[in-house]
Amino acid sequence: MTDEDTDGSATRHREGPLEGLRVVDFSGMVAGGFATMTLADFGADVVAVEHPQAGDPVRDWGPFDPESGMSLWWKALARGKRSVTCDLSTPEGHALALDLVETADVVVENFRPGTMERWDLSYDDLREVNPGVVMVRISGYGQTGPRAEQPGFGTVAEAMSGFAHVNGFPDREPLLPPIPLADMAAGHYAVQAAMFALFEREVGPGGDGSSEGQVVDVSLYESLFRMFPGDVEAYDRLGQVRERRGNHHSNAAPRNVYEAQDGYVALSASAQSIFENLAETVGHPELLDDERFATNDARVEHADELDEYIAPYIAERTVEEAIADLGAGDAVVAPVYDVSDVFEDEQYAARDNLVEVTDEDVGEITTHGVVPRLTRTPGAVEHLGPRRGQHNEAVYGAELGLDGETLDDLREQGVI
């Protein structure tokens, strides 16, 4: 591992609205990593703290770049961040961690609840050196409750939140998502809540700010559970439990994925005027006089029957032909893409959803553009994920003031 830094200066300029915001990231894996990646995208100086031997587990996730052997997951998730190493469980590492916290606006961690406390790095410990720090704590079940100290990865959150129960087809088992959905949702909530807490610290309800930080408690299961508006109310009032419907929707019809000659088309036409145009387009104007399809509510109840009129029409056409014909009738329709299609799509290109960067390990590579879009301070991808401990010299030396001899001693002890 190297301490060599491509930007060794203590003064760094970042593009984006969060320039000047300092984030110390004690997290790892996806939820915390996604949150701090987003902050880095918008200009925050994110210092990711990794264990000197193990590093972030995402570094071991494939696929791997064929030449450098580095994880492309890591390159994507750690973009814009700086990496330092520190063994938080040692006295020397503890002291270094507090030195970092003293410089921070936000601290992010996603250990099992109680871990930071065992290392004497609780919120009370952090605010002793930095009363204004906002501590974002991400865990499976949150910091309180009977499950708090249980391990909680995204898989169990996706099951317990209710997502898996409603995802998939009614004649099949519950279906987990193919991406770390609960982690990503928690990452988004963590960013939002950190901004809420910083706003309160700087502005406050009275307009003059409190100058004090606070704890942000984000759980994976709550982040996904919160994305089901109406379900709680429906069960409370009606005893209604949402069930799996495949690609159908409980409040819209027609809505499905249909097979064309050379791929798949996603279609939604629940608005009455759009459905009327769709019925004409697929050659079945008589549907307009059929009570099964007279209203959206009726169509939802008879969605399978309605598909019997739409599916054959699309099956006789290519994706391009189906989209052109259905789109002419104002149907909301699009092709089902894989990532290779994304690379060829004009909409993605027009909005810079794919950007090329030069990475010191893997060379020229394409990555996601920054979203959401801000017109005046849009943020940028400065670089992809760094090597482990790459910024030890810059952060510990140039910024915290440790001399070379001290750094060498810490390396020999395995602290950094």
Q: Are residues 44 and 108 in the same domain?
A: yes
375 falls within a domain:
yes
Nearest CA-CA partner of 381 in 346, 347, 356: 356
49 falls within a domain:
yes
Q: Are residues 83 and 154 in the same domain?
A: yes
Q: Are residues 143 and 288 in the same domain?
A: no
Per-residue pLDDT band for 12 (boundaries 50, 70, 90) equals: low
SS3 for 89?
Answer: coil
Q: What is the mean pLDDT of residues 83-91?
A: 97
Catalytic residue flag (residue 183): yes
Does the pLDDT value for residue 10 go beyond 50? no
Which tokens in the block code for residue 59? 């570094």
Q: Are residues 222 and 288 in the same domain?
A: no
Residue-wise pLDDT tens digits, 319-334: 999 999 999 888 899 9
Per-residue pLDDT band for 1 (boundaries 50, 70, 90) equals: very low
pTM of the prediction?
A: 0.93
Does the pLDDT value for residue 6 go beyond 50? no
Phi/psi for 25 (5° steps) reads -110, 100
Residue-wise pLDDT tens digits, 296-313: 999 999 999 999 999 999
Q: Are residues 365 and 271 in the same domain?
A: no
Q: Which of 180-211 are b and which e, b meaning 16 or more Cβ less than 10 Å from the residue's Cβ?
A: bbbbbbbbbbbbebbbebbebbeeeeeeeeee
Looking up residue 100, the CATH number of its domain turns out to be 3.40.50.10540
Q: Are residues 331 and 209 in the same domain?
A: no
CA 301 – CA 224 distance, rounded (Å):
27
Q: Among 10-24, 264-278, 376-390, where is mean pLDDT lowest?
A: 10-24
Which tokens in the block code for residue 213? 């930080």
CA 361 – CA 91 distance, rounded (Å):
33
Q: Are residues 293 and 162 in the same domain?
A: no
Q: What is the mean pLDDT of residues 159-177?
A: 97
Residue-wise pLDDT tens digits, 128-152: 999 999 999 999 999 999 999 999 9
Comparison of pLDDT for 210 and 48, the residue scoring more: 48
List C-alpha distances in Å: 123 to 143, 204, 248, 279, 396.
Answer: 12, 20, 46, 61, 22
Q: Are residues 127 and 198 in the same domain?
A: yes
Residue-wise pLDDT tens digits, 20-67: 999 999 998 999 999 999 999 999 999 999 999 989 999 999 999 999
CA 252 – CA 256 distance, rounded (Å):
10
Q: Are residues 151 and 267 in the same domain?
A: no
**End of a domain among 306, 337, 368?**
337
Amino acid symbol at 192: Q
Does the pLDDT value for residue 3 go beyond 60? no
Angle, alpha carbons 324-346-253 (nearest 5°)? 45
DSSP type of residue 286: G
CB-CB contact of 72 with 368 (8 Å): no
Pick the catalytic residue from 3, 5, 105, 183: 183
Radius of gyration of the chain from its Cα atoms, rounded to whole angstroms:
25
4 falls within a domain:
no
Q: What is the mean pLDDT of residues 87-93?
A: 97
Q: What is the mean pLDDT of residues 378-382?
A: 95
243 falls within a domain:
no
How many domains does the chain fold into? 2
If you average pLDDT over every residue of the chain, what do you get?
A: 94
**End of a domain among 312, 337, 362?**
337
Q: Are residues 332 and 362 in the same domain?
A: no
53 falls within a domain:
yes
Per-residue pLDDT band for 219 (boundaries 50, 70, 90) equals: very high
273 falls within a domain:
yes
Does the pLDDT value for residue 13 go beyond 70? no
CA 87 – CA 97 distance, rounded (Å):
9
Residue 316 CB burial class (10 angstroms; 0-12, 13-18, ≥19):
exposed
Does the pLDDT value for residue 207 go beyond 90? no
Nearest CA-CA partner of 320 in 333, 306, 339, 338: 333
Q: What is the mean pLDDT of residues 83-99?
A: 97
Question: To which residue do tokens 């009455």 refer?
Answer: 272
Amino acid symbol at 79: R
Q: Are residues 32 and 178 in the same domain?
A: yes
240 falls within a domain:
no
Report which secondary-structure segment, H or E, holds 357.
strand 354-359
8 falls within a domain:
no
Concatenating the DSSP letter of every residue in 3-62 gives ---S---S-----STTTT-EEEE---TTHHHHHHHHHHHTT-EEEEEE-TTT--GGGGPS
Looking up residue 308, the CATH number of its domain turns out to be 3.30.1540.10
Does the pLDDT value for residue 363 go beyond 60? yes
Q: Are residues 129 and 168 in the same domain?
A: yes
pLDDT at 2: 37
CA 70 – CA 125 distance, rounded (Å):
36
DSSP type of residue 387: P
- Tell me how far the alpha carbon of residue 29 is from its chain's centroid: 12
Per-residue pLDDT band for 5 (boundaries 50, 70, 90) equals: very low
Does the pLDDT value for residue 288 go beyond 60? yes
pLDDT at 270: 86
CB-CB contact of 71 with 62 (8 Å): yes
- Tell me how far the alpha carbon of residue 187 is from its chain's centroid: 5
Range of the domain at 283: 255-337
Amino acid symbol at 227: M
**End of a domain among 337, 366, 382?**
337
